[in-house]
Structure 1
Amino acid sequence: MWFKSCKMTFVCFNRMKSYRYPWTRLYSTSGTTVDSSEVKTFLALAHRWWDEQGVYAPLHSMNDLRVPFIRDNLLKTVANHQPGKPLSGMKILDVGCGGGLLTEPLGRLGASVIGIDPVAENIETAQRHKSFDPVLDERIEYRACALEEIVEETAETFDAVIASEVVEHVTDLETFIQCCWQVLKPGASLFITTINKTQLSYALGIVFAEQIAGIVPKGTHTWEKFVSPEMLESILESNGLSVQTVAGMFYNPFSRYWHWSENTSLNYAAHAVKSGAQEHQVPVESVLKEETEELQATASTIAGVREEVKK
Protein backbone atom coordinates (compact mmCIF):
# COMPACT_ATOMS: atom_id res chain seq x y z
CA MET A 1 0.00 0.00 0.00
CA TRP A 2 1.33 3.40 -0.91
CA PHE A 3 2.01 5.73 1.99
CA LYS A 4 -0.71 8.33 1.49
CA SER A 5 -0.09 10.79 4.28
CA CYS A 6 3.25 12.22 3.13
CA LYS A 7 2.92 15.63 1.58
CA MET A 8 4.58 16.02 -1.78
CA THR A 9 6.41 19.29 -2.09
CA PHE A 10 8.13 20.02 -5.34
CA VAL A 11 10.77 22.56 -6.19
CA CYS A 12 9.75 23.24 -9.76
CA PHE A 13 11.92 24.66 -12.45
CA ASN A 14 9.70 25.95 -15.23
CA ARG A 15 12.41 26.25 -17.80
CA MET A 16 11.63 27.44 -21.29
CA LYS A 17 14.98 26.26 -22.62
CA SER A 18 15.09 24.10 -25.70
CA TYR A 19 18.50 22.47 -25.89
CA ARG A 20 18.33 19.74 -28.48
CA TYR A 21 21.10 17.55 -29.68
CA PRO A 22 20.90 15.93 -33.12
CA TRP A 23 23.76 13.54 -32.31
CA THR A 24 25.56 12.55 -35.49
CA ARG A 25 26.66 9.24 -34.00
CA LEU A 26 25.72 6.93 -31.21
CA TYR A 27 28.17 6.36 -28.39
CA SER A 28 30.46 3.42 -28.80
CA THR A 29 29.47 0.31 -26.91
CA SER A 30 33.13 -0.60 -26.40
CA GLY A 31 33.24 1.52 -23.25
CA THR A 32 31.03 1.34 -20.19
CA THR A 33 29.95 3.55 -17.31
CA VAL A 34 29.62 0.47 -15.08
CA ASP A 35 32.04 0.33 -12.14
CA SER A 36 33.33 -3.25 -11.77
CA SER A 37 33.89 -2.80 -8.04
CA GLU A 38 30.24 -1.76 -7.64
CA VAL A 39 29.18 -4.88 -9.54
CA LYS A 40 30.96 -7.06 -6.98
CA THR A 41 29.14 -5.31 -4.13
CA PHE A 42 25.70 -5.92 -5.62
CA LEU A 43 26.58 -9.43 -6.78
CA ALA A 44 26.92 -10.50 -3.15
CA LEU A 45 23.39 -9.22 -2.42
CA ALA A 46 21.62 -10.47 -5.54
CA HIS A 47 19.51 -13.05 -3.68
CA ARG A 48 18.17 -10.54 -1.14
CA TRP A 49 16.21 -8.12 -3.34
CA TRP A 50 12.72 -9.26 -2.35
CA ASP A 51 13.30 -9.43 1.39
CA GLU A 52 11.22 -6.43 2.49
CA GLN A 53 12.84 -6.44 5.94
CA GLY A 54 16.40 -6.88 4.66
CA VAL A 55 19.12 -4.65 3.24
CA TYR A 56 16.85 -3.42 0.45
CA ALA A 57 14.01 -2.40 2.78
CA PRO A 58 14.60 1.33 2.06
CA LEU A 59 14.15 0.68 -1.68
CA HIS A 60 10.91 -1.22 -1.09
CA SER A 61 9.66 1.73 0.97
CA MET A 62 10.88 4.25 -1.62
CA ASN A 63 8.27 2.90 -4.04
CA ASP A 64 5.69 4.82 -1.98
CA LEU A 65 7.22 8.00 -3.42
CA ARG A 66 8.90 7.13 -6.68
CA VAL A 67 6.06 5.14 -8.28
CA PRO A 68 3.47 7.96 -7.92
CA PHE A 69 6.16 10.49 -8.90
CA ILE A 70 6.78 8.66 -12.18
CA ARG A 71 3.12 7.84 -12.81
CA ASP A 72 1.77 11.33 -12.18
CA ASN A 73 4.38 13.08 -14.32
CA LEU A 74 3.86 10.66 -17.19
CA LEU A 75 0.09 11.09 -17.04
CA LYS A 76 0.55 14.80 -17.70
CA THR A 77 1.61 13.84 -21.23
CA VAL A 78 -1.48 11.80 -22.15
CA ALA A 79 -5.06 12.94 -22.73
CA ASN A 80 -6.74 9.67 -21.78
CA HIS A 81 -5.69 6.59 -19.87
CA GLN A 82 -7.22 3.26 -18.93
CA PRO A 83 -8.59 2.93 -15.38
CA GLY A 84 -6.36 0.54 -13.46
CA LYS A 85 -3.71 0.62 -16.20
CA PRO A 86 -2.84 4.32 -16.53
CA LEU A 87 0.54 3.67 -18.17
CA SER A 88 -0.84 1.29 -20.80
CA GLY A 89 0.81 1.86 -24.17
CA MET A 90 3.96 3.39 -22.68
CA LYS A 91 7.38 1.82 -23.09
CA ILE A 92 9.74 2.34 -20.15
CA LEU A 93 13.42 1.48 -19.62
CA ASP A 94 14.43 0.80 -16.01
CA VAL A 95 18.23 1.19 -15.88
CA GLY A 96 19.96 -0.59 -13.02
CA CYS A 97 16.75 -2.44 -12.23
CA GLY A 98 18.33 -4.81 -9.71
CA GLY A 99 15.80 -7.44 -8.70
CA GLY A 100 12.89 -5.55 -10.26
CA LEU A 101 11.58 -3.68 -7.21
CA LEU A 102 10.53 -0.67 -9.29
CA THR A 103 10.09 -2.51 -12.60
CA GLU A 104 7.18 -4.62 -11.37
CA PRO A 105 5.00 -1.76 -10.03
CA LEU A 106 5.42 0.06 -13.35
CA GLY A 107 4.37 -3.10 -15.16
CA ARG A 108 1.31 -3.40 -12.95
CA LEU A 109 0.33 0.12 -14.02
CA GLY A 110 0.14 -1.16 -17.59
CA ALA A 111 3.51 -0.11 -19.01
CA SER A 112 5.72 -2.32 -21.14
CA VAL A 113 9.01 -2.27 -19.24
CA ILE A 114 12.54 -3.36 -20.09
CA GLY A 115 14.73 -3.72 -17.01
CA ILE A 116 18.49 -3.84 -17.48
CA ASP A 117 21.26 -4.49 -14.97
CA PRO A 118 24.96 -5.39 -15.40
CA VAL A 119 24.75 -8.00 -12.62
CA ALA A 120 23.44 -11.19 -14.22
CA GLU A 121 22.45 -12.61 -10.83
CA ASN A 122 20.19 -9.58 -10.24
CA ILE A 123 18.45 -10.28 -13.53
CA GLU A 124 18.02 -13.94 -12.60
CA THR A 125 16.33 -12.87 -9.36
CA ALA A 126 14.09 -10.42 -11.25
CA GLN A 127 13.18 -13.02 -13.89
CA ARG A 128 12.30 -15.59 -11.26
CA HIS A 129 10.11 -13.19 -9.29
CA LYS A 130 8.10 -11.87 -12.25
CA SER A 131 7.48 -15.42 -13.48
CA PHE A 132 5.01 -15.92 -10.61
CA ASP A 133 2.67 -13.35 -12.22
CA PRO A 134 1.60 -14.17 -15.82
CA VAL A 135 0.58 -10.56 -16.50
CA LEU A 136 3.94 -9.17 -15.40
CA ASP A 137 5.74 -11.97 -17.20
CA GLU A 138 4.22 -10.68 -20.43
CA ARG A 139 4.74 -6.96 -19.83
CA ILE A 140 8.30 -7.03 -18.46
CA GLU A 141 11.52 -8.01 -20.21
CA TYR A 142 14.85 -8.25 -18.40
CA ARG A 143 18.35 -8.10 -19.86
CA ALA A 144 21.73 -8.53 -18.20
CA CYS A 145 23.61 -5.64 -19.79
CA ALA A 146 24.77 -2.06 -19.38
CA LEU A 147 22.91 0.90 -20.89
CA GLU A 148 25.69 1.52 -23.42
CA GLU A 149 25.18 -1.95 -24.87
CA ILE A 150 21.62 -1.28 -26.05
CA VAL A 151 21.90 2.34 -27.23
CA GLU A 152 22.08 1.55 -30.93
CA GLU A 153 19.21 -0.94 -31.04
CA THR A 154 16.89 1.17 -28.86
CA ALA A 155 17.54 4.72 -30.13
CA GLU A 156 14.48 6.95 -29.54
CA THR A 157 12.45 3.97 -28.34
CA PHE A 158 11.25 4.83 -24.84
CA ASP A 159 8.56 7.09 -23.41
CA ALA A 160 10.51 7.16 -20.14
CA VAL A 161 13.88 6.12 -18.76
CA ILE A 162 14.23 5.47 -15.03
CA ALA A 163 17.58 5.67 -13.23
CA SER A 164 16.61 5.26 -9.58
CA GLU A 165 19.53 5.06 -7.14
CA VAL A 166 21.87 4.50 -10.08
CA VAL A 167 23.78 7.65 -11.04
CA GLU A 168 25.76 7.61 -7.77
CA HIS A 169 27.27 4.30 -8.93
CA VAL A 170 28.35 5.09 -12.52
CA THR A 171 31.91 5.95 -13.56
CA ASP A 172 31.01 8.66 -16.09
CA LEU A 173 27.80 10.53 -15.33
CA GLU A 174 27.76 12.71 -18.45
CA THR A 175 28.18 9.76 -20.81
CA PHE A 176 25.45 7.94 -18.92
CA ILE A 177 23.07 10.90 -19.34
CA GLN A 178 23.92 11.14 -23.03
CA CYS A 179 23.00 7.48 -23.46
CA CYS A 180 19.70 8.11 -21.69
CA TRP A 181 19.03 10.99 -24.08
CA GLN A 182 19.63 8.77 -27.09
CA VAL A 183 17.16 6.04 -26.15
CA LEU A 184 14.38 8.51 -25.26
CA LYS A 185 11.76 9.59 -27.78
CA PRO A 186 11.55 13.37 -28.37
CA GLY A 187 9.49 14.83 -25.54
CA ALA A 188 9.96 11.73 -23.38
CA SER A 189 10.89 11.75 -19.69
CA LEU A 190 13.96 10.87 -17.64
CA PHE A 191 13.44 10.16 -13.93
CA ILE A 192 16.35 10.09 -11.50
CA THR A 193 16.55 9.55 -7.76
CA THR A 194 19.94 9.91 -6.11
CA ILE A 195 21.94 11.36 -3.21
CA ASN A 196 23.21 14.92 -2.87
CA LYS A 197 26.91 15.57 -2.29
CA THR A 198 26.92 17.34 1.09
CA GLN A 199 28.55 16.95 4.48
CA LEU A 200 25.18 15.78 5.78
CA SER A 201 24.87 13.08 3.12
CA TYR A 202 28.31 11.80 4.09
CA ALA A 203 27.51 11.81 7.80
CA LEU A 204 24.08 10.18 7.45
CA GLY A 205 24.30 8.30 4.16
CA ILE A 206 27.66 6.65 4.76
CA VAL A 207 28.82 7.01 8.37
CA PHE A 208 25.42 6.41 9.98
CA ALA A 209 23.60 4.29 7.38
CA GLU A 210 26.53 2.03 6.48
CA GLN A 211 29.00 2.07 9.36
CA ILE A 212 26.82 2.56 12.45
CA ALA A 213 23.20 1.54 11.86
CA GLY A 214 23.83 -1.00 9.10
CA ILE A 215 20.79 0.20 7.14
CA VAL A 216 22.72 -0.57 3.97
CA PRO A 217 25.87 -2.73 3.63
CA LYS A 218 29.28 -1.11 4.04
CA GLY A 219 30.78 -0.02 0.74
CA THR A 220 27.43 0.46 -1.00
CA HIS A 221 28.12 4.14 -1.65
CA THR A 222 31.13 6.29 -2.49
CA TRP A 223 30.67 9.91 -1.39
CA GLU A 224 32.85 11.22 -4.22
CA LYS A 225 30.30 9.86 -6.73
CA PHE A 226 27.36 11.68 -5.16
CA VAL A 227 26.04 14.56 -7.27
CA SER A 228 24.37 17.81 -6.25
CA PRO A 229 21.03 18.83 -7.81
CA GLU A 230 22.76 21.86 -9.34
CA MET A 231 25.44 19.73 -10.98
CA LEU A 232 22.94 17.16 -12.19
CA GLU A 233 20.67 19.87 -13.60
CA SER A 234 23.59 21.43 -15.47
CA ILE A 235 24.58 18.10 -17.01
CA LEU A 236 20.99 17.35 -17.97
CA GLU A 237 20.38 20.76 -19.54
CA SER A 238 23.68 20.68 -21.43
CA ASN A 239 22.73 17.34 -22.93
CA GLY A 240 19.30 18.18 -24.29
CA LEU A 241 17.14 17.46 -21.23
CA SER A 242 15.00 20.20 -19.72
CA VAL A 243 14.60 19.85 -15.96
CA GLN A 244 10.97 20.08 -14.88
CA THR A 245 11.05 19.16 -11.20
CA VAL A 246 13.50 18.56 -8.37
CA ALA A 247 12.08 17.33 -5.05
CA GLY A 248 13.84 16.49 -1.79
CA MET A 249 13.34 13.09 -0.17
CA PHE A 250 13.92 12.02 3.43
CA TYR A 251 14.07 8.49 4.86
CA ASN A 252 13.12 7.93 8.49
CA PRO A 253 15.08 4.83 9.61
CA PHE A 254 12.82 4.35 12.63
CA SER A 255 9.45 4.38 10.84
CA ARG A 256 11.07 3.03 7.64
CA TYR A 257 9.04 5.46 5.55
CA TRP A 258 10.14 8.01 2.97
CA HIS A 259 8.73 11.54 2.91
CA TRP A 260 8.87 14.37 0.38
CA SER A 261 10.75 17.43 1.58
CA GLU A 262 11.74 20.89 0.38
CA ASN A 263 15.25 20.06 1.61
CA THR A 264 17.43 18.35 -1.02
CA SER A 265 20.56 18.05 1.14
CA LEU A 266 20.20 14.26 1.41
CA ASN A 267 18.15 12.42 -1.22
CA TYR A 268 16.22 13.93 -4.11
CA ALA A 269 14.22 13.05 -7.21
CA ALA A 270 14.46 14.79 -10.58
CA HIS A 271 12.27 14.76 -13.67
CA ALA A 272 13.59 16.00 -17.02
CA VAL A 273 12.14 15.98 -20.53
CA LYS A 274 14.03 15.41 -23.77
CA SER A 275 14.10 18.45 -26.00
CA GLY A 276 14.50 18.55 -29.78
CA ALA A 277 17.05 20.08 -32.19
CA GLN A 278 20.18 21.66 -30.77
CA GLU A 279 20.18 25.40 -30.24
CA HIS A 280 23.09 25.83 -27.90
CA GLN A 281 24.97 24.08 -25.15
CA VAL A 282 25.01 25.07 -21.51
CA PRO A 283 28.60 25.19 -20.23
CA VAL A 284 29.21 23.11 -17.14
CA GLU A 285 32.64 24.56 -16.35
CA SER A 286 31.28 27.06 -13.85
CA VAL A 287 29.40 24.37 -11.98
CA LEU A 288 32.47 22.10 -12.01
CA LYS A 289 34.56 24.93 -10.56
CA GLU A 290 31.99 25.55 -7.83
CA GLU A 291 31.81 21.83 -7.07
CA THR A 292 35.62 21.62 -6.80
CA GLU A 293 35.75 24.56 -4.42
CA GLU A 294 33.04 22.98 -2.27
CA LEU A 295 34.93 19.68 -2.15
CA GLN A 296 38.10 21.45 -1.07
CA ALA A 297 36.23 23.39 1.60
CA THR A 298 34.63 20.26 3.08
CA ALA A 299 37.59 17.89 2.81
CA SER A 300 38.93 18.69 6.26
CA THR A 301 35.49 18.32 7.85
CA ILE A 302 34.97 14.88 6.33
CA ALA A 303 38.45 13.81 7.36
CA GLY A 304 37.54 14.80 10.91
CA VAL A 305 34.36 12.74 10.78
CA ARG A 306 36.32 9.72 9.58
CA GLU A 307 38.76 10.06 12.48
CA GLU A 308 35.89 10.22 14.96
CA VAL A 309 34.40 7.05 13.50
CA LYS A 310 37.73 5.24 13.87
CA LYS A 311 37.83 6.22 17.56
Structure 2
Amino acid sequence: MKLVPRIPSIVNVLQTRCAINVKKCLMHGSPSCAQQNQKKTNTTIDPEDVYRHGQLTKDWWDEQGVLKGLHSLNLIRIPFVRDGLVQCSPDERDPTPLKDKKILDVGCGGGILSEGLAKLGASVTGIDAGKDLIELATEHSKNNPKLANNLPSYFCTTVEEHSQERKDYYDAVVASEVIEHVYNKEIFVKACVETLKPGGKIFVTTPNRSRITQILGIYVAEYVLNIIPRGTHQYDKFMTSPELTFLLERNNCHVELTYGMIYYPFSNRWELSKSQLLAFAIQAEKLK
Protein backbone atom coordinates (compact mmCIF):
# COMPACT_ATOMS: atom_id res chain seq x y z
CA MET A 1 0.00 0.00 0.00
CA LYS A 2 1.32 3.43 -0.95
CA LEU A 3 1.85 5.81 1.95
CA VAL A 4 2.14 9.56 1.47
CA PRO A 5 3.39 11.99 4.12
CA ARG A 6 1.50 15.07 2.98
CA ILE A 7 -1.82 16.55 4.08
CA PRO A 8 -4.10 18.68 1.91
CA SER A 9 -3.55 22.43 2.09
CA ILE A 10 -7.06 23.53 1.18
CA VAL A 11 -7.32 25.75 4.27
CA ASN A 12 -5.38 28.50 2.48
CA VAL A 13 -7.53 28.19 -0.63
CA LEU A 14 -10.72 28.49 1.39
CA GLN A 15 -9.50 30.92 4.05
CA THR A 16 -11.87 33.74 3.10
CA ARG A 17 -14.98 31.57 2.88
CA CYS A 18 -14.10 29.69 6.03
CA ALA A 19 -13.60 32.92 7.99
CA ILE A 20 -17.15 33.93 7.14
CA ASN A 21 -18.58 30.62 8.34
CA VAL A 22 -16.30 29.60 11.18
CA LYS A 23 -18.05 31.57 13.93
CA LYS A 24 -21.37 30.01 13.00
CA CYS A 25 -19.83 26.55 12.75
CA LEU A 26 -18.16 26.80 16.15
CA MET A 27 -21.61 26.95 17.67
CA HIS A 28 -22.38 23.57 16.08
CA GLY A 29 -19.04 21.89 16.69
CA SER A 30 -18.13 22.76 20.29
CA PRO A 31 -18.85 19.98 22.78
CA SER A 32 -21.17 20.92 25.63
CA CYS A 33 -21.37 19.39 29.09
CA ALA A 34 -24.53 17.57 28.03
CA GLN A 35 -22.77 16.11 25.00
CA GLN A 36 -19.84 14.99 27.12
CA ASN A 37 -22.23 13.26 29.51
CA GLN A 38 -23.71 11.30 26.60
CA LYS A 39 -20.51 9.25 26.51
CA LYS A 40 -21.51 7.73 29.84
CA THR A 41 -24.72 6.22 28.47
CA ASN A 42 -25.11 2.45 28.35
CA THR A 43 -25.91 2.27 24.65
CA THR A 44 -23.91 2.72 21.48
CA ILE A 45 -26.83 4.20 19.54
CA ASP A 46 -27.48 7.90 18.98
CA PRO A 47 -31.12 8.08 17.78
CA GLU A 48 -30.58 11.47 16.14
CA ASP A 49 -27.63 10.11 14.21
CA VAL A 50 -29.63 7.09 13.06
CA TYR A 51 -32.37 9.45 11.88
CA ARG A 52 -29.93 11.69 9.98
CA HIS A 53 -28.40 8.76 8.12
CA GLY A 54 -31.85 7.37 7.39
CA GLN A 55 -32.66 10.56 5.49
CA LEU A 56 -29.91 9.74 2.98
CA THR A 57 -31.40 6.54 1.57
CA LYS A 58 -32.24 8.14 -1.79
CA ASP A 59 -28.65 9.35 -2.20
CA TRP A 60 -26.80 6.38 -0.70
CA TRP A 61 -25.90 4.65 -3.94
CA ASP A 62 -25.22 7.79 -5.99
CA GLU A 63 -21.47 7.51 -6.50
CA GLN A 64 -21.23 11.20 -7.41
CA GLY A 65 -23.61 12.44 -4.72
CA VAL A 66 -23.19 13.55 -1.12
CA LEU A 67 -21.74 10.16 -0.15
CA LYS A 68 -19.23 9.92 -2.99
CA GLY A 69 -16.38 10.05 -0.46
CA LEU A 70 -17.74 6.90 1.16
CA HIS A 71 -17.84 5.15 -2.20
CA SER A 72 -14.27 6.16 -3.10
CA LEU A 73 -13.07 5.08 0.35
CA ASN A 74 -13.68 1.49 -0.78
CA LEU A 75 -10.58 1.81 -2.97
CA ILE A 76 -8.35 1.80 0.11
CA ARG A 77 -10.41 0.20 2.87
CA ILE A 78 -11.24 -2.99 0.96
CA PRO A 79 -7.56 -3.70 0.14
CA PHE A 80 -6.75 -2.83 3.77
CA VAL A 81 -9.12 -5.55 5.00
CA ARG A 82 -8.16 -8.03 2.29
CA ASP A 83 -4.42 -7.70 2.90
CA GLY A 84 -4.94 -8.01 6.64
CA LEU A 85 -6.68 -11.36 6.18
CA VAL A 86 -4.93 -12.91 3.18
CA GLN A 87 -1.20 -13.05 2.50
CA CYS A 88 -0.40 -13.38 -1.20
CA SER A 89 1.39 -11.49 -3.95
CA PRO A 90 -0.59 -9.55 -6.59
CA ASP A 91 0.43 -12.10 -9.24
CA GLU A 92 -1.02 -14.94 -7.18
CA ARG A 93 -4.13 -13.11 -6.09
CA ASP A 94 -7.41 -15.01 -6.37
CA PRO A 95 -10.39 -12.90 -7.58
CA THR A 96 -12.28 -14.16 -4.50
CA PRO A 97 -9.54 -14.25 -1.85
CA LEU A 98 -11.99 -13.88 1.04
CA LYS A 99 -14.21 -16.84 0.10
CA ASP A 100 -13.51 -18.70 3.35
CA LYS A 101 -13.92 -15.66 5.60
CA LYS A 102 -16.94 -14.68 7.68
CA ILE A 103 -16.96 -10.88 8.06
CA LEU A 104 -19.20 -8.63 10.17
CA ASP A 105 -19.74 -5.11 8.79
CA VAL A 106 -20.82 -3.03 11.79
CA GLY A 107 -22.84 0.06 10.92
CA CYS A 108 -23.16 -1.14 7.33
CA GLY A 109 -25.59 1.58 6.27
CA GLY A 110 -26.84 0.93 2.74
CA GLY A 111 -24.21 -1.73 2.10
CA ILE A 112 -21.42 0.06 0.20
CA LEU A 113 -18.63 -1.77 2.03
CA SER A 114 -20.58 -5.01 2.52
CA GLU A 115 -21.08 -5.44 -1.21
CA GLY A 116 -17.42 -4.70 -1.91
CA LEU A 117 -16.29 -7.40 0.51
CA ALA A 118 -18.87 -9.87 -0.79
CA LYS A 119 -17.50 -9.40 -4.32
CA LEU A 120 -14.21 -10.78 -3.00
CA GLY A 121 -16.00 -13.91 -1.84
CA ALA A 122 -16.48 -13.12 1.85
CA SER A 123 -19.56 -14.31 3.70
CA VAL A 124 -20.70 -10.87 4.89
CA THR A 125 -23.16 -10.00 7.63
CA GLY A 126 -24.11 -6.34 7.76
CA ILE A 127 -25.79 -4.81 10.80
CA ASP A 128 -27.16 -1.32 11.33
CA ALA A 129 -29.59 0.35 13.71
CA GLY A 130 -31.35 2.09 10.82
CA LYS A 131 -34.30 0.06 9.50
CA ASP A 132 -34.56 2.06 6.27
CA LEU A 133 -30.87 1.57 5.53
CA ILE A 134 -31.06 -2.18 6.11
CA GLU A 135 -34.02 -2.38 3.73
CA LEU A 136 -32.04 -0.37 1.16
CA ALA A 137 -28.95 -2.57 1.55
CA THR A 138 -31.01 -5.75 1.17
CA GLU A 139 -32.82 -4.52 -1.93
CA HIS A 140 -29.71 -3.14 -3.61
CA SER A 141 -27.72 -6.33 -3.14
CA LYS A 142 -30.53 -8.40 -4.68
CA ASN A 143 -30.33 -6.24 -7.80
CA ASN A 144 -26.56 -6.46 -8.12
CA PRO A 145 -25.71 -9.21 -10.65
CA LYS A 146 -22.13 -9.38 -9.35
CA LEU A 147 -23.50 -10.69 -6.05
CA ALA A 148 -25.92 -13.25 -7.46
CA ASN A 149 -24.21 -16.20 -5.75
CA ASN A 150 -23.00 -14.45 -2.60
CA LEU A 151 -25.51 -12.01 -1.17
CA PRO A 152 -24.65 -10.32 2.14
CA SER A 153 -27.03 -10.96 5.04
CA TYR A 154 -28.43 -7.83 6.67
CA PHE A 155 -29.98 -7.33 10.10
CA CYS A 156 -31.42 -4.27 11.82
CA THR A 157 -29.77 -4.53 15.22
CA THR A 158 -26.99 -3.14 17.39
CA VAL A 159 -23.57 -4.69 17.77
CA GLU A 160 -24.13 -5.25 21.49
CA GLU A 161 -27.30 -7.25 20.71
CA HIS A 162 -25.61 -9.12 17.87
CA SER A 163 -22.66 -10.05 20.08
CA GLN A 164 -25.00 -11.98 22.37
CA GLU A 165 -26.05 -14.19 19.46
CA ARG A 166 -22.70 -14.69 17.71
CA LYS A 167 -19.83 -14.81 20.14
CA ASP A 168 -16.44 -15.96 18.79
CA TYR A 169 -18.03 -16.33 15.35
CA TYR A 170 -16.42 -14.04 12.76
CA ASP A 171 -13.01 -14.12 11.12
CA ALA A 172 -13.09 -10.34 10.85
CA VAL A 173 -15.09 -7.37 12.09
CA VAL A 174 -15.05 -4.11 10.15
CA ALA A 175 -16.25 -0.82 11.66
CA SER A 176 -15.56 1.75 8.96
CA GLU A 177 -16.62 5.37 9.55
CA VAL A 178 -18.88 4.25 12.39
CA ILE A 179 -17.26 4.67 15.80
CA GLU A 180 -17.34 8.48 15.43
CA HIS A 181 -21.15 8.22 15.50
CA VAL A 182 -21.27 5.99 18.60
CA TYR A 183 -22.21 7.09 22.12
CA ASN A 184 -20.48 4.56 24.38
CA LYS A 185 -17.30 3.55 22.59
CA GLU A 186 -16.18 1.14 25.31
CA ILE A 187 -19.36 -0.94 24.93
CA PHE A 188 -18.99 -0.73 21.15
CA VAL A 189 -15.41 -2.04 21.04
CA LYS A 190 -16.14 -4.74 23.63
CA ALA A 191 -19.12 -6.03 21.62
CA CYS A 192 -17.20 -5.98 18.33
CA VAL A 193 -14.38 -8.02 19.85
CA GLU A 194 -16.81 -10.50 21.43
CA THR A 195 -18.10 -11.47 17.98
CA LEU A 196 -14.56 -12.28 16.79
CA LYS A 197 -12.99 -15.71 16.85
CA PRO A 198 -9.71 -15.89 18.78
CA GLY A 199 -7.11 -14.93 16.19
CA GLY A 200 -9.69 -12.94 14.22
CA LYS A 201 -9.02 -9.40 13.02
CA ILE A 202 -10.83 -6.13 13.66
CA PHE A 203 -10.48 -3.21 11.23
CA VAL A 204 -11.54 0.33 12.14
CA THR A 205 -11.40 3.54 10.10
CA THR A 206 -12.43 6.86 11.61
CA PRO A 207 -11.64 10.59 11.66
CA ASN A 208 -9.01 11.63 14.19
CA ARG A 209 -9.91 14.07 16.96
CA SER A 210 -7.69 17.02 16.11
CA ARG A 211 -8.26 20.70 15.42
CA ILE A 212 -7.32 20.25 11.77
CA THR A 213 -10.05 17.60 11.47
CA GLN A 214 -12.49 19.90 13.21
CA ILE A 215 -11.69 22.61 10.65
CA LEU A 216 -11.46 20.48 7.51
CA GLY A 217 -13.77 17.58 8.36
CA ILE A 218 -16.60 19.60 9.89
CA TYR A 219 -16.38 23.34 9.18
CA VAL A 220 -15.04 23.16 5.63
CA ALA A 221 -16.57 19.86 4.48
CA GLU A 222 -20.03 20.45 5.96
CA TYR A 223 -20.42 24.25 6.04
CA VAL A 224 -18.15 25.63 3.30
CA LEU A 225 -17.86 23.02 0.55
CA ASN A 226 -21.11 21.26 1.50
CA ILE A 227 -19.64 17.93 0.37
CA ILE A 228 -21.00 16.22 3.50
CA PRO A 229 -24.52 16.82 4.86
CA ARG A 230 -24.49 19.33 7.71
CA GLY A 231 -24.63 17.77 11.15
CA THR A 232 -23.06 14.49 10.03
CA HIS A 233 -20.21 14.74 12.53
CA GLN A 234 -19.96 15.96 16.12
CA TYR A 235 -16.41 16.77 17.15
CA ASP A 236 -16.81 15.53 20.73
CA LYS A 237 -17.54 12.03 19.40
CA PHE A 238 -14.21 11.81 17.55
CA MET A 239 -11.35 9.88 19.14
CA THR A 240 -7.60 9.56 18.68
CA SER A 241 -5.57 6.56 17.61
CA PRO A 242 -4.04 6.07 21.10
CA GLU A 243 -7.51 6.13 22.66
CA LEU A 244 -8.81 3.47 20.29
CA THR A 245 -5.64 1.42 20.74
CA PHE A 246 -6.19 1.54 24.51
CA LEU A 247 -9.77 0.24 24.17
CA LEU A 248 -8.72 -2.55 21.83
CA GLU A 249 -5.87 -3.67 24.08
CA ARG A 250 -8.15 -3.57 27.12
CA ASN A 251 -10.44 -5.97 25.24
CA ASN A 252 -7.79 -8.61 24.57
CA CYS A 253 -6.57 -7.34 21.20
CA HIS A 254 -3.10 -6.62 19.85
CA VAL A 255 -2.86 -3.66 17.45
CA GLU A 256 -0.85 -4.76 14.42
CA LEU A 257 -1.07 -1.79 12.04
CA THR A 258 -2.08 1.86 12.15
CA TYR A 259 -2.20 4.10 9.07
CA GLY A 260 -3.23 7.68 8.53
CA MET A 261 -5.78 8.49 5.83
CA ILE A 262 -6.16 11.61 3.66
CA TYR A 263 -9.14 12.61 1.55
CA TYR A 264 -8.82 14.97 -1.43
CA PRO A 265 -12.36 16.29 -1.99
CA PHE A 266 -11.75 17.97 -5.35
CA SER A 267 -10.58 14.71 -6.93
CA ASN A 268 -12.66 12.46 -4.63
CA ARG A 269 -9.59 10.41 -3.83
CA TRP A 270 -8.25 8.76 -0.66
CA GLU A 271 -4.68 7.81 0.20
CA LEU A 272 -3.06 6.01 3.09
CA SER A 273 -0.57 8.29 4.81
CA LYS A 274 2.03 8.48 7.55
CA SER A 275 0.08 11.38 9.03
CA GLN A 276 -2.89 10.56 11.27
CA LEU A 277 -3.97 14.18 11.74
CA LEU A 278 -7.09 13.83 9.61
CA ALA A 279 -8.14 10.18 9.90
CA PHE A 280 -6.69 6.77 10.63
CA ALA A 281 -7.15 3.06 10.05
CA ILE A 282 -6.35 0.39 12.66
CA GLN A 283 -5.93 -3.36 12.31
CA ALA A 284 -5.87 -5.49 15.47
CA GLU A 285 -5.94 -9.20 16.28
CA LYS A 286 -8.00 -10.82 19.01
CA LEU A 287 -5.58 -12.77 21.18
CA LYS A 288 -6.13 -16.49 21.68
Contact 1:65 1:260 in 2 (8 A): yes
Determine the structure 1 residue equivalent to 2:181: 169
Determine the structure 2 residue equivalent to 1:93. 104
In structure 2, C-alpha distance between the alignment counterparts of 1:136 and 1:154, rounded to whole Å: 24
2:246 equivalent to 1:251 = no
Select 1:231's aligned residue among 243, 246, 258: 243
Counterpart-to-counterpart distance in 1, 2:79 and 2:93: 16
Whether the 8 Å contact between 2:114 and 2:126 is mirrored in structure 1 is yes
TM-score w.r.t. length of structure 2: 0.83
Show structure 2 runs of 5+ residues with no match: 6-41
Secondary structure of 1:102's counterpart equals helix
Distance 1:135 1:51, change over 3 A: closer
Measure how far apart 1:35 and its partner are: 0.6
Secondary structure of residue in 2 paired with 1:259: strand
> Whole-Å Cα distance in 2 between the matches of residues 245 and 83 of structure 1?
24
Gaps of 5+ in 1: 1-5, 11-30, 277-311
Alignment of 1:191-210 (within 5 A): 191-210=203-222
Match of 1:151 in 2: 163
Count of residues in correspondence between the two structures: 248
Could you tell me how far apart the structure 1 residues matched to 2:81 and 2:215 are? 29
- For 2:195, give the aligned amino acid: V
The equivalent of 1:51 in structure 2 is 62
DSSP 3-state at the match of 1:37 = helix
Task: Decide whether the 8 Å contact of 1:47 with 1:122 is kept in 2.
Answer: no
Shift in Å at residue 162 of structure 1? 0.4
Shift of 1:134: 5.4
1:273 lines up with 2:273 in the alignment: no
TM-score by length of 1: 0.77
Output the CA distance in 1 between the equivalents of 2:209 and 2:263. 16
Q: Runs ≥4 in structure 1, deviation > 6 angstroms?
A: none
Identity %: 43
- Report if aligned partners of 1:249, 1:260 keep a CA contact under 8 Å in 2: yes
Which residue number corresponds to residue 129 of structure 1? 140
- Which letter does structure 2 place at the counterpart of 1:199? R
Alpha-carbon distance in structure 1 between the residues aligned to 2:131 and 2:141 = 15
**d(CA) in 1 for partners of 2:67, 2:224:** 17
1:74 aligns with 2:85: yes
